[in-house]
Structures are given as structure tokens and as C-alpha cells.
């Protein structure tokens, strides 16, 4: 690298001559890439058979690479230097592409905004261009607790092992961190969150993340959204409806499609979204299977990578002729479908109003979801006690070792008094919902700060209730993630909860439902309701909040769904 630090890489290249080269940069160990490829990660032997050289590199300060690892800090410069190094090698023809999911995708965007001349295309999967909004916090300002504790325990364990091999640190420290990584559930219960013993004791970036709960300058330095105007390479964006990065995946696609620095980069954007979560691309879950065609393997995702790189690294102008700009899996009918744009151009944004007689608590309550604006004013009330949070049940969660990732039957959590359920009538005709989803609420609280959660649910004829997408808003961030503004208890505020996106056909006999509450734990941390620094507060400081959802003519709380009406496709 430019500062003299050496990074370790595995290289596969032709015995003779030169070839276009594909680069993977990761902090999880380059030597594992051969056995982990396949699924969302392209099959390595298939890439080699297609005539590509492949370089897999350990990020700075991880595994066999020198230096110190701090997430996202050195990846832009190191990626730029690595791409330049590849282009100079005799086995490289001077053109470079990149691929890989999650952190492996973040480093691709960081290299792309740097303008590395030899970089010609990227294929980021399950990833983000704003590390605050995903993965470490959320689009509504809540800490992604289960992910942050588990991921940091994993990375600190690897870091401590490196230190021990260098004659520093202790065996006890490695053992404690390893135990936390393998059995992370207990970490989420520790309060204050910033003082989780095994993580806080190790320090490093954990302290920084806890010290910056707002989207301030610390996170601005890592956000790439404003820099997508500098991107001059096409991108194959890959996401999953149940992936924690789904909001960022579609945001990267739409922003680059609109603002990238060149017609080729804008028009060369592609988007693929399957019924997958962050760790699984099979489309098969205990409570819901999306059929034999749902997997990345059946889709032929490796082959789509090859076509994409053939187009932009080899110059084969016909390589993508049979690949639509957007390919999505439509749940409900469980079919792949090609589209030309995202959001879909024939989207009909439809308001589904929340109404009740004041008793929408639980799925057996009187909460109703209707396209007819309500004529009478009412409110629903529940007690949110952070000492008794609503447990996470499915969704864009990680790690899945807790058993709450993907599509999960909601009947267990929908029976709680602190969950409001608003349900539409039994459908006589199919209703397709494809695109971004949001919930506008008129709320008040006894507290100066609290959270509001929203979950879109497909209720089956037998009562099974499968979650599709969800969101959370910390009300102090209702005016934006960079500034905090507390509430006046009892005052009614209009807020919007970003529920990311989905694609689902609600079939005849099914019902559309939205569930509203104030916690989703341990997917997100618990709001203590005090208005203080949540990560620094103890259980003794927590206070319950009496929360209200107002609806009626003057307070039109409503679920906003992107309805697609294509009778010829029914």
C-alpha cells in the first residue's frame, strides 16, 4: 500500500497470457473464500473457467495482512492501491472488476467512488453506502443491537488472536471474546449497552460507535451517497427482501441510476432481489418456503455475474441482452419477474387507513385497515415497558442464531397487549404490493422520547401471519438523523416509519395487516424513554411509556403501499 503496509492475497491466474481480473477484499479471511463461494457469492471455479483471474485479499489488519483494522477507515485507499497493483501485473490485462456481499460490497463502493482507473465494474451484494443507516444503526436511528454485539465480538476475537500470536494480549482475553462470539445472546441483555464488559473492555471502534448515536460527522465521513456522482462504473446490485441491507441496496441502485458520473455508469446499473436474508439465499424457511425456483443457485446468479463482467470487462456488448435491468422475486405467487425500472413505473401509491374503536391491541382486537378514510376520531393506547420489550420475530435480522430471521409466523408476538394490529378484509382478488413501504402515524406519548415500530404482515386463511418488511423510528430523530428533538408529553406528532421495501401478492382469502408497537428486541436496542443517552443508561433508569396512535379525519394515520395492478398477469 501507499504507506508501506503489505496486504496478503491469494491469486489465481492463467498459466500463460493475461486476463481480466476479479477482486474480492474481505476482513473474514481470504483462505475461506474457496469453500464459501456459491449462492450469493459467485462460484470461484466457474469464474476461473470463464477465463478470469481472481484475487482475494485480506483487508488491512485482518488475518495475514499487516496493519491495524478499523472498519471502513483504510478501505478506500487500500482498494484503490490494490486495483492499481493488479493492473500492473503481467497476468492481468489491465481491467478489474469486484464482487462479494456485505463488508465485501462496502469496499467495492469505496473503491468505485475513488475513481480507480482500472476498475471497470462492481457487483456489490447485500451491502450499504451509508454505514449508519445500515448496518450499525437503522434508518430510524435505533442501534442494530444484535448485529453490533455479535459482529464486534467476532472481529475482536480475530484481532485478539492476532495480538496473541504477536506476543501481546492474553489467552483469557481471547477465550472471553470467543465465548461472546459463539454465544452472543447474553450480550444483548447487558445494560448499559455501551458498557457490555467483554466489548467495552476491548475498546477500539466499539467506543466510537456508542459515542455517536446520531448521524453526525463521524458517520458522515463514511457515507458514500453524496459521492456516487463520482462513480463511473456499472454495478450489479444484489439484495434480499429479508436482508438487513435491503433499504440501502435499492437506494444505491436508484441513486447511482440517477446521479452516477457518466451515462455508462447510470445505464449500466442492474438490480436483483430474491427472497433471501443476509446469511441464506435458498428461499426456504421453517415458516415459509418460496418454492424450488427461489434460490440464488436456481436463478443462476454465478452465470449472471459472468455475463455482467463479460459485458464490462471484456467488452461483449451482447452479453446482457437477455438480462433485464431489474429482476425481482415476487412472493405470494413465488415467481421471478423482469422489470425495467425501480420503483415500478405503474406503481399506484395507495393509502390504507388505520382505524378502530380504540381497542386494536393484539390480533384479536378491533383494529381495521381500510382504503376508505375514517369518519370518526379515535386512538389506540398501549404501555411500552423497556423491561419487557416485544421480542424480535423474523425480519431483516442478524445473526440468525437467535431464530428470528426471515419470514416467521407472527402469532406469538401479535398476542401481546403492547402490539396493535390493524387488519384489512379478506381479499376476493389478489393485491400485489411491490416497492417501498412506509407508515405515517399520528402519535403521542407520556415520555419525551420513545420508539414506534411497524411491520407489514400477510395473514393466511389458516391464521398464519408472515412478516414481509418492517421499520422503526426513534422519535427524537423524527426531523432527521443528525439532530435530536425531544417530544412534549401529550402532544400529537406526525411521524413516518420507513419500512424499506417488499414484493408480495396478497392472494384471495388472505388479509393485509400492519402491526404497530414500540420495540423489536434484540434486533434493535430498547428505548429507555428518558430522552437521555440510551447506550449509557441502566435498567434502573428505564421508565415505561404510555403511547397512543391517533387516527381519524384530523389524524390520518395510514399505511402507504405501492400497489401494482396488472390484470393480465393474474
Catalytic site residues? 102, 243, 278
Whether omega for the bond prior to residue 422 falls within 30 degrees of 0, making it cis, is no
Alpha-carbon distance of 372 to 364, in angstroms, equals: 21
Q: Of 75, 63, 65, whose CA–CA distance to 158 is shortest?
A: 63
Q: Of 332, 140, 114, whose CA–CA distance to 224 is shortest?
A: 114
Cell of 243: 436482508
Q: Of 103, 149, 108, 113, whose CA–CA distance to 245 is shortest?
A: 103
Alpha-carbon distance of 281 to 288, in angstroms, equals: 14
What is residue 350's three-state secondary structure? Answer: strand
Q: Of 72, 75, 71, whose CA–CA distance to 7 is shortest?
A: 75
Give the phi and the psi of residue 393 in degrees, each rounded to 5.
-140, 90
| Angle formed at CA 75 by CA 69 and CA 81, multiple of 5 degrees | 120
| Angle formed at CA 474 by CA 544 and CA 247, multiple of 5 degrees | 140
Neighbours of 530 (CB within 10 A): 18
Q: Could you tell me which residues come within 8 angstroms of residue 514 by beta carbon, excluding any fewer than 6 positions away?
A: 352, 354, 369, 421, 422, 439, 454, 455, 456, 457, 559
Alpha-carbon distance of 543 to 313, in angstroms, equals: 58
Alpha-carbon distance of 512 to 561, in angstroms, equals: 11
Strand-strand pairing, 326-330 and 270-277: parallel
CB-count burial class (<10 Å; 0-12, 13-18, 19+) for 281? buried
Q: Of 496, 492, 473, 471, whose CA–CA distance to 484 is shortest?
A: 473
Give the phi and the psi of residue 517 in degrees, each rounded to 5.
-155, -155
Output the CA–CA distances (angstroms, integers) from residue 146 to 45, 105, 392, 524, in the order listed. Answer: 34, 21, 10, 7
Q: Of 427, 274, 440, 426, whose CA–CA distance to 350 is shortest?
A: 440
CB-count burial class (<10 Å; 0-12, 13-18, 19+) for 493? middle
Strand-strand pairing, 431-445 and 545-551: antiparallel
Whether omega for the bond prior to residue 522 falls within 30 degrees of 0, making it cis, is yes
Neighbours of 232 (CB within 10 A): 20
Amino acid at each position: 500500500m501507499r504507506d508501506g503496509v503489505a496486504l496478503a492475497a491469494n491469486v489465481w491466474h492463467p498459466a500463460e497470457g493475461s486476463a481480466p481480473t476479479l477482486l474480492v477484499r474481505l476482513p473474514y479471511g481470504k483462505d475461506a473464500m474457496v469453500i464459501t463461494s456459491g449462492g450469493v457469492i459467485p462460484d470461484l471455479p466457474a469464474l476461473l473457467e470463464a477465463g478470469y483471474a481472481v484475487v482475494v485479499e485480506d483487508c488491512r489488519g485482518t488475518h495475514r495482512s499487516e496493519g491495524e483494522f478499523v472498519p471502513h477507515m483504510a478501505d478506500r485507499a487500500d482498494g484503490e492501491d490494490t486495483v492499481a497493483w493488479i493492473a500492473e501485473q503481467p497476468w492481468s490485462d489491465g481491467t478489474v472488476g469486484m464482487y462479494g456481499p456485505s463488508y465485501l460490497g462496502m469496499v467495492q463502493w469505496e473503491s468505485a467512488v475513488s475513481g480507480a482507473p482500472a476498475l471497470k465494474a462492481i457487483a456489490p451484494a447485500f451491502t450499504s453506502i451509508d454505514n449508519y443507516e445500515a448496518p450499525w444503526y437503522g434508518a430510524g436511528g435505533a442501534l442494530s443491537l444484535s448485529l453490533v454485539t455479535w459482529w464486534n465480538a467476532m472481529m475482536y476475537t480475530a484481532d485478539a488472536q492476532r495480538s496473541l500470536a504477536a506476543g501481546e494480549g492474553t489467552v483469557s482475553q481471547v477465550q472471553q471474546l470467543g465465548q461472546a462470539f459463539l454465544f452472543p445472546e447474553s450480550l444483548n441483555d447487558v445494560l448499559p449497552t455501551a458498557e457490555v464488559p467483554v466489548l467495552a473492555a476491548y475498546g477500539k471502534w466499539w467506543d466510537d460507535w456508542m459515542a455517536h448515536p446520531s448521524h453526525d460527522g463521524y458517520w458522515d465521513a463514511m457515507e458514500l451517497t453524496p459521492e456516487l456522482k463520482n462513480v463511473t462504473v456499472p454495478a450489479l446490485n444484489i439484495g434480499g427482501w429479508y436482508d438487513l441491507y435491503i433499504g440501502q441496496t435499492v437506494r444505491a441502485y436508484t441513486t447511482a441510476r440517477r446521479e452516477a458520473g457518466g451515462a455508462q455508469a447510470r445505464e449500466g446499473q442492474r438490480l436483483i432481489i430474491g427472497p433471501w436474508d443476509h446469511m441464506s439465499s435458498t428461499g426456504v424457511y421453517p415458516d415459509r418456503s418460496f418454492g424450488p425456483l427461489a434460490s440464488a443457485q436456481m436463478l443462476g446468479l454465478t452465470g449472471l455475474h459472468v455475463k455482467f463482467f463479460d459485458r464490462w470487462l471484456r467488452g461483449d456488448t451482447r452479453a446482457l441482452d437477455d438480462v433485464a435491468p431489474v429482476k425481482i422475486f415476487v412472493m405470494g405467487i413465488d415467481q421471478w419477474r423482469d422489470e425495467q425500472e425501480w420503483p415500478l413505473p405503474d406503481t399506484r401509491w395507495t393509502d390504507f387507513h388505520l382505524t378502530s374503536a380504540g381497542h386494536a391491541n393484539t390480533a384479536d382486537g378491533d383494529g381495521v385497515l381500510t382504503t376508505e378514510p375514517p369518519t370518526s376520531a379515535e386512538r389506540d393506547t398501549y404501555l411500552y415497558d423497556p423491561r419487557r420489550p416485544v421480542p424480535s420475530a423474523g425480519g431483516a435480522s442478524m445473526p440468525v442464531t437467535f431464530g428470528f430471521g426471515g419470514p416467521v409466523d407472527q402469532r406469538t408476538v401479535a398476542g401481546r397487549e403492547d402490539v396493535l394490529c390493524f387488519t384489512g378484509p379478506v381479499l376476493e382478488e389478489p393485491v400485489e404490493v411491490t416497492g417501498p413501504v412506509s407508515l405515517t402515524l399520528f402519535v403521542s406519548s407520556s415520555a419525551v422520547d420513545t420508539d414506534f415500530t411497524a411491520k407489514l404482515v400477510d395473514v393466511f386463511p389458516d391464521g398464519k401471519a408472515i412478516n414481509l418488511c418492517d421499520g422503526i423510528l426513534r422519535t427524537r430523530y423524527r426531523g432527521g438523523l443528525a439532530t435530536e428533538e425531544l417530544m412534549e408529553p401529550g402532544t400529537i406528532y406526525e411521524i413516518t416509519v420507513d419500512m424499506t421495501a417488499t414484493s408480495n401478492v396478497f392472494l384471495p382469502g388472505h388479509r393485509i395487516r400492519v402491526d404497530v408497537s414500540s420495540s423489536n428486541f434484540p434486533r434493535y436496542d430498547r428505548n429507555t424513554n428518558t430522552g437521555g443517552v440510551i447506550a449509557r443508561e441502566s435498567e434502573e433508569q428505564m421508565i415505561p411509556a404510555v403511547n397512543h396512535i391517533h387516527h381519524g379525519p384530523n389524524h390520518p394515520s395510514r399505511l402507504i403501499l405501492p400497489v401494482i395492478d396488472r390484470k393480465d398477469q393474474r
